[in-house]
Structure 1
Amino acid sequence: MPYFHNTKINRLKKNFVLCIACCLLLILSAVAVPLQPVKLTCEYLHNPLGIDTKIPRFNWTFTSTERNQLQSGYEIIVSDNLQQVQQGKGDAWSSGKIISSQSIQVEYAGKALQSFTKYYWRIRVANQQNETSNWSEINWFETAMLNTKDWTAKWISDGSKNPERDEDYYKEDQMPLLRKEFSTGKKISTARLYISGLGYYEAFLNGQKIGDHVLDPGFTTYKKEVLYSVYDITGMVKKGNNVTGIMLGSGWWNPLPLRIFGRFDLRKIQQTGRPCVMAEIQLTYADGTKQTIITDENWQTAPGPVIHNNVYLGEKYDARLEQKNWNSFNPEKATWKNAVLTAGPSGMVRAQMAPPIRITKIVQPVKIYEQGKDTFMVDMGQNFAGVARIKVKGTKGTKITMRYGEDVWKDGTLNFMTSVATQLKWPGAGGPGAPDIAWQEDGYILKGTGTETWQPQFTFHGFRYVEITGWPGKPTLADIEGLRMNSDLQQQGSFSCSNELFNQLHKVIQWTFLSNVFSVQSDCPAREKMGYGADMVVSSNAFIYNYGMANFYTKAVTDFA
């Protein structure tokens, strides 16, 4: 028994000593590292792919185990060699210790950056007692086209012309498809797509959509600036044969001659043109060699199934006109011809740094009711901006029409007057060929091959209710859903309190915010869609409290400059 007793005491002593040692280590580590940099960003983005500024800006915050800690200095290292940064070295920039409390918009001050290069960076900071933190986690940024001459791609189109008479713009106008086959023979290290497609584009590789952007690129003054996006397609490129495909829409680049508010014709007050695209695929192989595929007259083009599209009036899609395998292998070649070089916009082509528009939420309908013969009303239960997606099965040639509105009349019919484009509510107000009432409407014509799923690609609406006509049979709640779209702002602030009314009010305000950020800040996503400035003046503070707005508002300032 005495032996057992002594053994137990010895174990307790050892455990006690071990606990004391651990506590001392924690205390010492806290003293040694009172301040630690976290949440590093470059140009307000975490690990941005495709920046085109030659002097990027770094930002960070910090955490501490102690109170009342302030930054008194920092050190930044930057290199295109990961191992160097891991070792605490920076051959592109090694700032040395800089005495400063600055932790936002710290400008790069190293060697000239090179285009198409991935740079790694990290920082460490010192507190007011001159105690230095550990190095931060390693972050990176990748440059895109730092110089205009870096672009080797050309603007191309299908060669079609816009009509001479205003009224003819409202007729069917098949949007172009473009495709290019290319082959790879070696192991790929990285693959990037650089693309600007006007007015909007969707890009594909081997039949799969590239990225998750919608309504891309963002709206700008095209004679001054045009935006492009960068995608990492490394995992999508196959060894051997590949096919890239691009679908174009009109967007703001090819608007209708609709008289905005009965007065302004966008075709006369901004630079316009036929849908066109400039794109470049850059492949870097494991052995260091490179291959570039650019848009030029060797691409192929054919008319697509989008037969009409406009950001105000909506989109019409004829599934019978789909080109089989157009963005993969073995297309119906009889309909394809060479693309045509075109002038494109005159503005400077710049990387899109503002958050892209994405589908940020799926909204499920809460109610469907019949409203007269062959007409059904869908209540989404929530007002938002975006489009409706349908799943339908029927005979070839069946035409489905969807009209959108924010409210219904007392008899349950759609009150489309709440969301009429630019208040065009009487005959002749919109100009020759324009509808008497410019409501929001999408249309789909079935191809008749099983269950068909469709959503508009080149328009958006503000709505809660969807009026459906022409549906084969009766739609169910599972046949339709809402796709909320908005510039994908990152949530930065939150609000909650004990008063549920205030909580609900804050939720409504946030939904309203997100319905009005489609690369520009507007006051409504149906009637106006454009931003004239006052919207930001009255609500920017509220936006900034809720979301990371730095790049969005940087674009806004550039737009108005």
Structure 2
Amino acid sequence: MSSPVPHIIIDAPHGSDVVASPVPELGWRTETTTPGWLQAGAEIEITRDGEPSTHRVEGRASTRLAWPFAPLAPREQASLRVRVTGEDGVQGEWSAPRRVVAGFLGADEWRAATIGLPAPSETAQPGYLRTEFEATGPVARATLYATAVGVYQVAIGGVDVDDQVMKPGWTPYEQRTIHETTDVTALVGEGPNAIGVRLAGAWATERFGFRDNARPLYGDQPRFAAQLLVEYADGSSEWVTTDASWQASTGPLTASGLYAGEDYDARRALVDAGGSGFAEAGYDAGGWAPVAELDAIRAPEARVSPFVRRLDELAVREVITTPSGRTVLDFGQNLVGRVRIRVSGPAGAEVTLKHAEVLEHGELGTRPLRAAAATDRYTLAGEGVEEWEPEFTFHGFRYAEVEGWPGEFDPAAVTAVVIHSDMERTGWFEASDRLVNQLHENIVWGLRGNFLYLPTDCPQRDERLGWTGDIQVFAPTASFLYDVRGFLDSWLRDLALEQVDGVVPFVVPNVLGAARPAAAWGDAATIVPWVLHERYADVATVERQYPSMKGWADALIELAGPRRLWEGMFQFGDWLDPDAPPHLPANAKTDADIVASAYLFRSADAVARAAALLGKDDEARQYAAIAEEVRTAFLAEYVTPRGRMMSDAQTAYAMAIVFDIAPADQQQALGARLAELTRLSGYRIGTGFVGTPIIQDALTRTGHLETARRLLTQTESPSWLYPVTMGATTIWERWDSMLPDGSINPGEMTSFNHYALGAIGDWLHRVVAGLAPEEPAYARLRIQPHPLAEFDHAWAEHLTPYGTARAGWTRQDGVVRVEAIVPPNTTAVVVLPDGRELEVGSGSHEWEVEDAAPPVAATRVGLESTLAEVIDDREAYRAIVEVLEAENPDAAQAFRTHTKWSTRRELGEALFMHAGPDTQRLIGERLAELSAQREEAMVDA
């Protein structure tokens, strides 16, 4: 037993005390070893200007509480602490104080002019800006507010003001910009001071679009604006703002682009004869020119999303000499970031770094980059050991080709620097299957690489856009692995701004032109806010996004018309179905109209639930009634009374089951057919972006856990584990982004870091390990593990808004042991593998159940065995394939990939198409040997 100890959580970027709202939401996690602990109440104390005041909370509420005090004023600093009392009457100690700093500007406080280079070139030109000012007395506090349409870093007195990367990120600049709020008191002193800015275009000047349609959307040159508030010890203050008095110059960064990379000439360093840098007072700015005042940046908002930082470093794992004699560095992990080098050599020597995710036949595989050069160049100054890392670009890569290195190359002089949004890690998973663990690790790295200010499709080629469909399917997995609430909350604001008449564009920010409705993509508007509510109890985001949710649903309802079916329009459909041709990724087995109408139901239902949550009862009934009309129309049009879908494909069945379109009495028939289709395919995946996140839930829900296990553990293409067997360290865009012979998929669109197909992570967490939210924010947990045959253990752990939760199981000697940790101030419903259901409170729990008998293969197997029996007998299947591989590899490949593993066909009949009499005889003999070994083993047993 222990006294409860709370830890305050504020609505601020990870690792920051700076809040973006005058009324930030609050919460706390309580630590205690008292079992079954529930909060009876709490006291929240705020201290402002040395004066404390207290607010009392009754009951269990401890997450995402509305600010209970007078609103914060701009730049106000306050201290918060909390003390909780349990239902057992024990009052805890006060928490450690948590500082809160108001990071927003006051009304009409934004007064900075927008500036840039005075004579820009025809292409986006990186540049340098500076000014000097005099602090007229002792400085009590200095606060910098800065933004750009582009990317920037500020230094004061030659010291960077923070460790952020590529700030302020990317938003729809015409409608929303972000300012950083930085305490620079330590850098501003009485007397002369200097501010220096490094500036480049990045997203603001990149050419977005495909092929000949690519163009800059936000202007040709980067723009910057900032204002520094200096508060003096005597109570006076002054603003230092960007204006026409600032100076500008070009410098060592001679070219910069997201897709192209950076060129840096260290000989052009901006250091004067006295050794002062351009961001230091007294610097000789001869040759600098007055800045140009440019089109104003709209008044920026304070940041709500996490900062992007350098968060990891990887050393060179291997130095490869390619068949053509080139030097390629392998960092052992597909990552997103840059390469930092330490090099010495003569002035003018140029080191070139070219990046790619894979090798193809031993050489750097750059074709998937399309028009992205992904190349950085550093020209040496010739002054001892020089260290350099690109600043305003990033690459998706595992490999870097090095050219022009002066002298003997030392791999220790090169480091890969990993960058992404600095979110708190909250979720972990492990199983006894090594390949499944690598799959999960690939999911994590895929998230890390594509959560860089916004959720992108991929980080390497000439795209890197905020595709709505990808995050729609991946949001549940992401919300388990990291605290993504602020990250997705910020992106959803942009989504709402980019909607046109309710229609959500394909990408946010929208750089691809007019918005067109597309099922599963635009539905991010309704589904992602609901995920944030489910995982974080985030009612505020649902409330703010409700008009966006409703606008999207209304647009679809109008398109569907009185038939209540969304038909005959452009769709991505079940994008990248593995049977779609490489250059026709939308040609899926599931009809696009079925996908569209299923999502029409899902979005109408989501709006109904959101309306009910917000107390909009009339609208809740309205949208619920529309959802029922869509359900009725869907079932009448696409589902037969006996449970067959008009598109007899895995995705169609999975949607009808998991979206709860089909009634309970029909779901079993649908699930049986889904399981049959999965076996007929040889337990290979047959779904694209839409079906992949839900097929395992559909199988599990309808009682086909063993089929789901076989689908999970399949290693032949297409499958989740095929890329793992090919050495993948992130999730691929296509099931076969790399072919078995080591060739890159011939399709024009191929990425090796695309998280969408990693949406299976949510099923691993919720179903295999058995850790899921039963109520929003895990206030009530569902512990329901599903021990998979041939696995010895699996567990998941998640840092919920209430504390650490854990669920898992181990199998040993005929017993399955289920373990769970339930956080304080929560409860859990537990469903054990033997069907028992019970309720528990917080604390550590353990149960034992008898292990279910594993599936057993038939003793005898031969040419007369059915194909279903063969595919369910892995040992027999491997024996057949081994014989075929030895006799005719092409026949073996055809047998693996084209056979329909039916209960009504015999093996001998199927082999007639793939093997001659001699090969069939060899297979029969091999299977007879296997049968004899099994019978002998049974006798011995």
CA 409–310 in structure 1, closer or farther in 2 if over 3 Å, else same: same
Whether 1:180 and 2:131 are equivalent positions in the alignment is yes
Whether 1:63 and 2:31 are equivalent positions in the alignment is yes
Code of the residue aligned with 1:261 in structure 2: it is F
Q: Is the 8 A contact 2:261 2:374 kept in 1?
A: yes
Q: How far did 1:71 drift?
A: 2.1
Q: Distance in 2 between matches of 1:499 and 1:237?
A: 56
Deviation digits for residues 94-143 of structure 1 (CA, Å, limit 9, x no counterpart): 43x23242222211143242111112222233333555433322212111
Aligned to 1:293: 240
Match of 1:99 among 31, 50, 58: 58
Aligned to 1:341: 293
Q: Is the 8 A contact 2:25 2:64 kept in 1?
A: yes
Code of the residue aligned with 1:56 in structure 2: it is P
Name which structure has the greater RCO, CA cutoff 8 Å, separation 6+: 1
Whether 1:495 and 2:495 are equivalent positions in the alignment is no
Aligned to 1:211: 162
Q: Which runs of 5+ in 1 are unaligned?
A: 1-26, 164-168, 425-436
Q: How far did 1:310 drift?
A: 1.1
Q: Distance in 1 between matches of 2:89 and 2:220?
A: 59
Aligned to 1:17: none
Q: Is the 8 A contact 1:74 1:99 kept in 2?
A: yes
Match of 2:342 among 391, 394, 399: 391
Q: Distance in 1 between matches of 2:285 and 2:81?
A: 52
Q: Distance in 2 between matches of 1:291 and 1:553?
A: 36
Q: TM-score, normalised by structure 1?
A: 0.82
Whether 1:196 and 2:141 are equivalent positions in the alignment is no
Q: Distance in 2 between matches of 1:248 and 1:486?
A: 20
Q: Is the 8 A contact 2:336 2:419 kept in 1?
A: yes
Q: Distance in 1 between matches of 2:414 and 2:169?
A: 27
Q: Distance in 2 between matches of 1:369 and 1:265?
A: 35
Q: Distance in 2 between matches of 1:485 and 1:72?
A: 42
CA 36–471 in structure 1, closer or farther in 2 if over 3 Å, else same: closer
Aligned to 1:452: 386
Code of the residue aligned with 1:336 in structure 2: it is W
Q: How does 1:130-529 map to 2 (within 5 A)?
A: 132-161=91-120, 163=122, 169=123, 174-256=125-207, 260-262=209-211, 264-267=213-216, 270-324=217-271, 325-346=277-298, 348-371=299-322, 375-410=326-361, 412-418=362-368, 420=369, 424=370, 437-527=371-461, 528-529=463-464
Aligned to 2:85: 126
Q: Is the 8 A contact 2:138 2:233 kept in 1?
A: yes
Q: Distance in 2 between matches of 1:174 and 1:191?
A: 30
Q: How far did 1:148 drift?
A: 4.1
CA 128–416 in structure 1, closer or farther in 2 if over 3 Å, else same: same
Q: How far did 1:266 drift?
A: 4.6
Q: Which runs of 5+ in 2 are unaligned?
A: 272-276, 497-941
Q: Distance in 2 between matches of 1:58 and 1:537?
A: 27
Aligned to 1:37: 6
Q: How far did 1:554 drift?
A: 0.6
CA 333–46 in structure 1, closer or farther in 2 if over 3 Å, else same: closer
CA 135–322 in structure 1, closer or farther in 2 if over 3 Å, else same: same
CA 374–399 in structure 1, closer or farther in 2 if over 3 Å, else same: farther
Q: Distance in 1 between matches of 2:107 and 2:115?
A: 18
Q: Distance in 1 between matches of 2:413 and 2:168?
A: 30
CA 415–107 in structure 1, closer or farther in 2 if over 3 Å, else same: same
Deviation digits for residues 352-383 of structure 1 (CA, Å, limit 9, x no counterpart): 12111111111100222444888421111211
Deviation digits for residues 213-262 of structure 1 (CA, Å, limit 9, x no counterpart): 11111211101111111222222233432222100010111223x5x232
Deviation digits for residues 283-305 of structure 1 (CA, Å, limit 9, x no counterpart): 23333332332211122211122
Q: Distance in 2 between matches of 1:353 and 1:67?
A: 36
CA 309–264 in structure 1, closer or farther in 2 if over 3 Å, else same: same
CA 150–48 in structure 1, closer or farther in 2 if over 3 Å, else same: farther
Q: Distance in 1 between matches of 2:241 and 2:144?
A: 10
Q: Distance in 2 between matches of 1:311 and 1:214?
A: 13
Code of the residue aligned with 1:99 in structure 2: it is E
Q: How far did 1:271 drift?
A: 3.2
Q: TM-score, normalised by structure 2?
A: 0.50
Q: Distance in 1 between matches of 2:71 and 2:418?
A: 42
Q: How far did 1:187 drift?
A: 3.4
| Equivalent position SS for 2:108 | helix
What's the C-alpha RMSD, in Å, of the aligned pairs? 2.4
Aligned to 1:554: 489
Deviation digits for residues 61-83 of structure 1 (CA, Å, limit 9, x no counterpart): 212342222223333233322x4
Aligned to 1:432: none
Q: How far did 1:498 drift?
A: 4.1
Match of 2:469 among 525, 534, 551: 534
Code of the residue aligned with 1:154 in structure 2: it is A
Structure with greater proportional strand content: 1
Q: How far did 1:161 drift?
A: 4.1
Structure with greater proportional helix content: 2
Q: Distance in 1 between matches of 2:229 and 2:364?
A: 50
Q: Distance in 2 between matches of 1:47 and 1:504?
A: 29
CA 45–36 in structure 1, closer or farther in 2 if over 3 Å, else same: farther
CA 297–251 in structure 1, closer or farther in 2 if over 3 Å, else same: same
Q: Is the 8 A contact 2:19 2:304 kept in 1?
A: yes
The number of aligned residues is: 490
CA 47–138 in structure 1, closer or farther in 2 if over 3 Å, else same: farther
Aligned to 2:612: none
CA 125–47 in structure 1, closer or farther in 2 if over 3 Å, else same: farther
Code of the residue aligned with 1:59 in structure 2: it is G
Q: How far did 1:47 drift?
A: 7.5
Poorly superposed stretches of 4+, deviation over 6 Å: none
Q: Is the 8 A contact 1:174 1:304 kept in 2?
A: no
Deviation digits for residues 419-471 of structure 1 (CA, Å, limit 9, x no counterpart): x1xxx3xxxxxxxxxxxx43311112222222221111111111111112222
Q: Distance in 1 between matches of 2:43 and 2:180?
A: 31
